[in-house]
Amino acid sequence: MTPRDEGPADNTSPRPLVEFESVGRTFDSDPPVHALVDVDLRIHRAEHVAVTGPSGSGKSTLLGLLGLLDRPTSGEYRFGGVATTRLAERDRAALRAGSFGFVFQAFHLLPYRTIEENVMLAEVYRPKGGTAPPRRTRRARAEEALERVGLGHRRGFRPDRLSGGERQRVAIARALLGDPALLLCDEPTGNLDGENTAVVLDLLDELHGQGLTLLVITHDEAVASRAVRRIRIADGRVLAEAGV
């Protein structure tokens, strides 16, 4: 059994934001691959968590499950108290659009759109029935988000004219536009040099300081050391935790 994650003692929130209960993910291949086995995990609001581990350890599978991009094959994942495992795909999409921000190693910026348009993309798919912010002020909000990551001066640029660090900051601005409950970062500095890495990590720290809940997946110790809490996984199991 993996060690139980009790969460930081000083967190007084009655309910964690993320609750994994014996979550497993097995891929139907021959032989079956047990990417994650019996993972118990709790993340409270405003935490900054780093997940580390060697490649193939199940980090990315964990991120996919956390972000509702994938479904566990066993166990239950509750997000904000809502059991998500058996939710209909469309409801999971609504939860994804409304509650998560994603930052990927490959940035995933559309090369043919300006950086504002890339940021605005975050508001294109909105949960039904919600009070969506008006479309005509979307550009203004995107520009605001770009200011927040320090890229106000790059307005109108296409991603291919930006440095790697700037591109990742655009991706972060896009993730922030939906005002997410949880920001999921998959190797956010994997494609960046040292200088750009520092800028991006400083930005993430700053956002955490503003109250954002952050989960960063990385194999880089320097990145993990910025987190308040570190979770190490290997072979699909949570091995150890190092909190502050």
Partner 1 sequence: MTPEGRTLRLPRRGGTRIGRADLLDESLAAVLARPWRAALTTLGTVLGIATLVVTIGIAATAGNRIVGRFDQLTATAVTVVAAGTGAPQAPGEGPLIGWDAAERLARLNGTVAAVALAEAAPGTAPSVRANDIKDPSTVSARTLGVVAATVDLPAAAHGRVVAGRFFDVGNVARHDRVAVLGEEAARMLGIVRLEDSPAVFLGDEAFTVIGIVGDFRREQALAAAVIVPPTTAADRLGLTEVGRVVVDTELGAAGLVAAQAPTALNPGRTTEMRVIAPPDLQRARGAVEDDVNGMFLVLGLLCLVVGAVGIANVTLVGVMQRIGEIGLRRALGASRRHIAQQFLVESAVLGLIGGAIGAAVGVVTVVGVCVARDWTPVLDLTLVVAAPGAGVLVGLLAGAYPAWRAARLEPLEALRAT
Residues in touch with partner 1 (CB under 8 A) = 13, 17, 44-46, 60, 64, 67, 69-70, 80, 82, 84, 87-100, 102, 104, 106, 108, 110-113, 117, 121-122, 124-130, 135, 178, 181, 210-213
Among positive and negative, which fits the CA dihedral 151, 153, 156, 162?
negative
DSSP class of 188: T
Q: Which is nearer to partner 1, 112 or 221 (CB)?
A: 112
Please say which residue, 14 or 194, places its beta carbon nearer to partner 1: 14
Nearer to partner 1, 24 or 127 (CB): 127
Tell me how far, at minimum, the Cβ of 126 lies from partner 1, in Å: 6
CB of 184 to partner 1, least distance (A): 9
Beta strand 18-27 pairing with 74-79: antiparallel
Task: Choose between 33 and 181: whose C-beta lies nearer to partner 1.
Answer: 181
Residue 101 — φ and ψ, nearest 5°? -120, 140
Tokens of residue 183, six digits: 């920001």
Report d(CA 103, CA 184) in Å as an integer: 6
Looking at the Cβ atoms of 110 and 240, the one nearer to partner 1 is: 110
Specify the residue, 80 or 150, whose C-beta has the smaller distance to partner 1.
80
Phi and psi torsions of 143, nearest 5°: -65, -35
Dig out the tokens for 27 from the structure: 């891929």
Q: For residues 171 and 86, what is the distance between their CA atoms, to the nearest angstrom?
A: 30
The least distance separating partner 1 from the CB of residue 240, rounded to whole angstroms, comes to: 25
Least distance (Å) between residue 82 CB and partner 1: 6
| Spatial distance between the Cα atoms of 18 and 180, rounded to a whole number of angstroms | 14
Q: Is residue 3 reached through a cis peptide bond, with omega within 30 degrees of 0 on the bond before it?
A: no
- The angle formed by the CA atoms of residues 102, 106 and 32, to the nearest 5 degrees, is 80
Nearest-approach distance from CB 75 to partner 1, in angstroms: 18
Least distance CB 225 / partner 1 (angstroms): 23
